[in-house]
């Protein structure tokens, strides 16, 4: 396939390398640091790891050109309905807060853990994450997905606090903290804590390869489809 890249930061560079290793061409890159402003003619799928404010415009470019779109950029999810309207049934579009196969399996593990814990009120729950210093949003899209999973499956929790707490945390709240530091950090952890013991469920990434490879594999799966999809559709989870 011919793949276009929106964004050429750390993720975009790894996507390009892995896509080419899998036999694809990457003839189109648009980024402030490396821009090819030609049209999208002849491109099969675009992969977006750019900035939240650019996602809708990139989607319009792809829809106008008939190019399928994979969106890995985070921090724009309040505009998801707008993206659905732009895409319609003109192209295929797959979006996810995280394209790592391991992270998506981790989501399912956390879902099951929360389902089990729902019947045991003696266990409180908390979440934390750490990302590299270049991460543009906080909390991350992955953290938001984990928060949603916990709120949907724990009847005793109906709110998440992401900010610093200068008060007692309420019983109905989950505190999810975010740390930014280091050149390559990707870790998420959910804790279930009682007076007797603590159970933690965590995922750590060694590098960006798993995230980038998942995006390329999703692009391969998406090409030729129409409408909106998520990673659960691609992975059949």
- Per the annotation, the verdict on 188 as an active-site residue is no
* 135 catalytic per annotation: yes
Indicate which residue of 135, 157, 188, 203 is catalytic.
135
Strands 124-131 and 173-180: parallel
Q: How many CB atoms lie within 10 A of CB 157?
A: 20
* Bridge partner list, 94: 70, 229
Query: Which residue in 131, 144, 157, 203 is the catalytic one?
Result: 131
Alpha helices in the chain (DSSP H): 10-21, 55-65, 80-87, 101-117, 141-153, 209-222, 231-235
Which candidate, 22, 89, 221, places its Cα nearest to that of 235? 221
Edge to edge, the sheet with strand 45-48 lists 25-30, 2-6, 45-48, 68-71, 92-95, 227-230
The residues that bridge with 227 in the sheet, in sequence order, are 92
Catalytic residue numbers read 131, 135
């Amino acid at each position: 396939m011919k793949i276009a890249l929106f964004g050429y930061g750390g993720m975009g560079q790894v996507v390009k390398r892995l896509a080419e290793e899998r036999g694809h061409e990457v003839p189109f890159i648009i980024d402030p640091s490396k821009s090819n402003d030609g049209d999208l003619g002849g491109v099969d799928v675009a992969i977006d790891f750019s900035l939240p404010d650019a996602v809708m415009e990139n989607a319009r470019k792809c829809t106008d050109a008939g190019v399928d779109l994979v969106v890995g950029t985070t921090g724009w999810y309040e505009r998801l309905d707008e993206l659905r309207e732009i895409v319609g049934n003109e192209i295929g579009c797959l979006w996810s807060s995280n394209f790592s196969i391991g992270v998506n399996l981790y989501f399912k593990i956390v879902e099951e853990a929360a389902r089990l814990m729902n019947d045991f009120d003696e266990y409180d729950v908390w979440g934390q994450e750490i990302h590299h210093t270049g991460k543009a949003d906080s909390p991350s899209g992955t953290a938001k997905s984990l928060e949603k999973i916990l709120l949907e499956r724990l009847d005793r929790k109906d709110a998440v606090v992401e900010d610093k707490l200068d008060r007692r945390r309420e019983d109905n709240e989950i505190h999810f903290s975010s740390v930014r530091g280091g050149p390559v950090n990707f870790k998420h952890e959910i804790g279930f804590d009682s007076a007797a013991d603590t159970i933690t469920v965590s995922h750590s990434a060694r590098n960006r390869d798993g995230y980038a490879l998942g995006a390329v594999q999703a692009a391969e799966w998406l090409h030729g489809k129409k409408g909106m999809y998520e990673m659960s559709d691609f992975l059949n989870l």
